[in-house]
Amino acid sequence: MAESNVSFRKMKEGDIPVVAALERRLFSRPWSEQSLSQALRQNTLFFVALEKNMVVGYCGMYCAFEEGEVMNVAVSPAMQGRGVGRKMMGYLLEQAYGQGVRRIILEVRISNQRAIRLYQSIGFQSCGIRKNLYDMPLEDGMVMEYAFG
């Protein structure tokens, strides 16, 4: 597929209905609009990916001291395979570094090999498995870590 021409900006309250709809479409345990709204008011970095002014993806990270924990990474099915996830993660890492974050962790279903390969390709390394982390269906989660060098 052709590479996508996307831009990024901070997520706004007005983006939440579209983001929540994307959550429902992609995940067995989607975040609610209320949860997304609350997350925006905490020490977080949440960004949307835009193509032609339409939200085609988003990502979010909680920040504490010099550490970040990626909570959400999602790309619209129609846009998957076009580099949006890679660009979005690169943007998230840049913004996190600019905020003083020096170590980032995330969790991913062990069956999600596409995401694992993406994270590995940008420098994340596996640092463990959490048994039965996910449900619907029940599955282990891989914990991955990125440290700014």
Complete DSSP assignment for 25-65? HH-SSPPPHHHHHHHHTSSEEEEEEEETTEEEEEEEEEEET
Q: What is the pLDDT of residue 3?
A: 60
What is the rounded average pLDDT for all residues in the chain? 95
On the question of pLDDT at 2 being above 80, the answer is no
Task: Report pLDDT digits (tens) over 74-100.
Answer: 999 999 999 999 999 999 999 999 999
Q: What is the pLDDT of residue 78?
A: 93
User: Residues 46, 106, 93, CA angle at the centre, nearest 5°?
Assistant: 50
What would the DSSP string read from start to end of 83-128?
A: THHHHHHHHHHHHHHHTT--EEEEEEETT-HHHHHHHHHTT-EEEE
Homologous superfamily of 7-147? Gcn5-related N-acetyltransferase (GNAT) (3.40.630.30)
Q: How far apart are CA 38 and CA 137, in angstroms?
A: 26
Q: What is the pLDDT of residue 1?
A: 52
- Where in the chain are the domains? 7-147
Q: How far apart are CA 122 and CA 43, in angstroms?
A: 24
Q: What is the pLDDT of residue 4?
A: 64
Higher-confidence residue: 28 or 74? Answer: 74
Host H or E run for residue 16: helix 16-26
Helix (H, G, I), strand (E, B) or coil at 17: helix
On the question of pLDDT at 34 being above 60, the answer is yes
Please state the pTM of the whole predicted model: 0.92
Residue 46: half-sphere exposure toward Cβ, Cα within 13 Å? 21
Q: What is the pLDDT of residue 132?
A: 95
Helix (H, G, I), strand (E, B) or coil at 15: helix
